[in-house]
């Protein structure tokens, strides 16, 4: 049996839309991007959603909004030490300095007890990551943010469908940034999207994704139909609004072909989410049999996990290492991924920040002993049992 890590659903409707888009030659961001944004916002219960070119751009643009509210270059953003490296990259790309806090090894998320000691007069926001779709401890994070007057911007890259105490993580904070990469629950192949209840934030992001230009309407008539825009030359001295740049921006628009695939995913979202969540929760339940050698995260009563993948964590003082487990599973056709790294101490590109090994023991432990495997919608109970049996066979061989 072969079990790939990820999959993508390209529906018949998506293919129809793609053919229509190719026929009309209107490929850049237009009416289908706007349709995708509106439907995504409705799905997660947010007032606004702004589509961009990648999940990393979603993080970076959400952060860059803060310049309009008083932030300065080289101000600080607190993020977890353990995440996909995009979280740290996005902070730097937005012009800020990432300040790292260690994680709770049981949840894989930022440890609120480690946040307050990292706050300085330059701190502007906390960016918790809902890693593997498990919601971070938002009550504790909000308490700290309120105390120090900080923004909360969730990195929800893997957290489609995640719910924390009755609220979708899309609205747990000032903004939430999603990845729409090929292996994620809602995919546009590449892409990202930011949700917010603040219309002002959304307006700024629409400017930021297009070089910081003054054009920032919810729906652009020029993009949709090349029709007449009554705002275009209303800026004095006959200046064209498309060439007025109000802020430092990015080139980060989603295109119509990507939006077409995303719309198809939204059409079948409930089915995708149910299949993936059934797979994940089944595996989480069965994984208890592998303790004390291998463990995973736990679902709490007040949450629903966004079913991105199954984390696999080797317990302390193991009789085997991660490469041996990963190779065993790969030989049986099970595609694995490492469970990321401690960004400041296990990713060489961040050496310039001056952190040293041992500064983030929990993140570094997961960086050395964590794996994850897919739970996607093309898998069902036989594939889940195959994964469980492979791990059982491994433990019978090496323990």
DSSP string, 221-282: HHHHH----TTTT-SSTT--GGG-B-S---B-PPPHHHHHHHHHHHHTHHHHHHHHHHHHHH
Is residue 254 over pLDDT 90?
A: yes
Residue 223 to residue 226: CA distance in whole angstroms: 6
Among 236, 267, 298, residue at a domain's last position: 267
Cα–Cα distance list, 161 to 225, 287, 313 (Å): 34, 22, 23
Computed over every residue of the chain, the mean pLDDT equals 95
Mean pLDDT of 156-168: 98
- Domain boundary among the residues 220, 235, 267 is at 267
166 Ramachandran zone, left/alpha/beta (phi>0; psi -120 to 50): left
Query: Quick check: is 88 in a domain?
Result: yes
* Domain identity same for 262 and 357: no
Least confidently predicted of 53-67, 142-156, 242-256, 334-348: 242-256
What was the pLDDT predicted at 149?
98
Here the CATH number for the domain that contains residue 133 is: 3.40.640.10
> Looking at the structure, do residues 232 and 105 belong to the same domain, yes or no?
yes
How many domains are there within the chain? 2
Do 135 and 229 have their domain in common? yes
Residues 233-251, mean pLDDT to the nearest whole number: 81
pTM, to two decimals: 0.95
**Residues 251 and 288 grouped into a single domain:** no
Peptide bond into 145 cis (omega under 30): no
- Residues 328, 51: Cα–Cα separation, whole Å: 40
Alpha helices in the chain (DSSP H): 12-24, 31-44, 55-64, 86-93, 138-148, 199-208, 221-225, 256-267, 269-286, 322-331, 343-346, 361-369, 381-398
Domain boundary pick from 249, 267, 285: 267
pLDDT in tens, 61-107: 999 999 999 999 999 999 999 999 999 999 999 999 999 999 999 99
Q: Residue 304 in contact with residue 154, Cβ under 8 Å?
A: no
Same domain as 310, residue 240:
no
| 234 lies in the same domain as 95 | yes
Whether residues 104 and 184 fall in one domain: yes
Distances (CA, A) of 328 to 234, 309, 365, 391, 398: 66, 19, 21, 9, 11
Percent of the chain at pLDDT exceeding 90: 89
**Distance, CA of 129 to CA of 106 (rounded, Å):** 14
Kindly state whether residues 202 and 251 are assigned to the same domain. Answer: yes
Query: How confident is the model at residue 242, as a pLDDT?
Result: 77
d(CA 372, CA 203): 37
Q: Are residues 249 and 278 in the same domain?
A: no
CATH of the domain at 324: 3.90.1150.10
Q: Is residue 6 part of a domain?
A: no
Mean pLDDT (whole number) for 313-321: 90
Share of the chain above pLDDT 70, in %: 96
Same domain for 280 and 197, yes or no, is no
Q: How confident is the model at residue 360 (pLDDT cuts 50, 70, 90)?
A: very high
Predicted confidence at residue 29, as pLDDT, reads 84
For residue 296, give its domain range.
Answer: 269-398
């Amino acid at each position: 049996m072969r079990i790939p890590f990820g999959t993508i659903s390209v529906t018949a409707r998506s293919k129809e839309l793609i053919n229509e888009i190719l026929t009309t030659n209107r490929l850049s961001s237009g009416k289908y991007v706007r349709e995708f944004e509106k439907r995504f916002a409705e799905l997660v219960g947010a007032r606004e959603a702004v589509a961009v070119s990648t999940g990393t751009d979603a993080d970076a643009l959400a952060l860059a909004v803060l310049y309009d509210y008083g932030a300065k270059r080289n101000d600080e953003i607190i993020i977890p030490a353990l995440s996909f490296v995009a979280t740290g990259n996005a902070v730097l790309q937005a012009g800020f300095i990432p300040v790292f806090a260690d994680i709770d090894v049981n949840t894989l998320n930022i440890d609120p007890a480690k946040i307050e000691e990292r706050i300085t007069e330059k701190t502007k926001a906390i960016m918790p990551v809902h890693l593997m779709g498990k919601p971070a401890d938002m009550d504790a994070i909000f308490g700290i943010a309120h105390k120090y007057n900080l923004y909360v911007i969730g990195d929800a890259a893997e957290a489609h469908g995640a719910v924390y105490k009755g609220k979708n993580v899309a609205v747990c904070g000032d903004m939430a940034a999603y990845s729409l990469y090929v292996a994620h629950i809602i995919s546009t192949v590449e892409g990202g999207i930011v949700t917010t209840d603040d219309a002002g934030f959304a307006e700024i992001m629409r400017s930021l994704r297009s070089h910081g230009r003054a054009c920032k309407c919810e729906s652009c008539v020029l993009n949709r139909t090349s029709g007449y825009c009554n705002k275009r030359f209303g800026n004095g001295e006959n200046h064209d609004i498309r060439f007025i740049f109000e802020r430092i921006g990015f080139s980060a628009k989603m295109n119509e072909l990507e939006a077409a695939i995303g719309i198809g995913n939204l059409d079948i979202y409930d089915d995708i989410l149910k299949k993936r969540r059934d797979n994940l929760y089944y595996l989480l339940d069965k994984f208890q049999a592998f303790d004390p050698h291998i463990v995973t995260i736990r679902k709490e009563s007040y949450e629903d996990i966004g079913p991105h993948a199954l984390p696999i964590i080797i317990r302390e003082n193991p009789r085997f290492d991660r490469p041996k487990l990963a190779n065993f599973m790969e030989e049986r056709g099970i595609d694995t991924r490492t469970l990321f790294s401690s960004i400041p101490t296990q990713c060489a590109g961040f050496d310039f920040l001056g952190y040293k090994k041992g500064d983030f023991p929990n993140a570094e432990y997961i960086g050395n002993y964590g794996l994850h495997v897919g739970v996607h919608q093309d898998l069902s109970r036989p594939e889940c049992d195959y994964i469980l049996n492979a791990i059982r066979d491994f433990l019978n061989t090496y323990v």
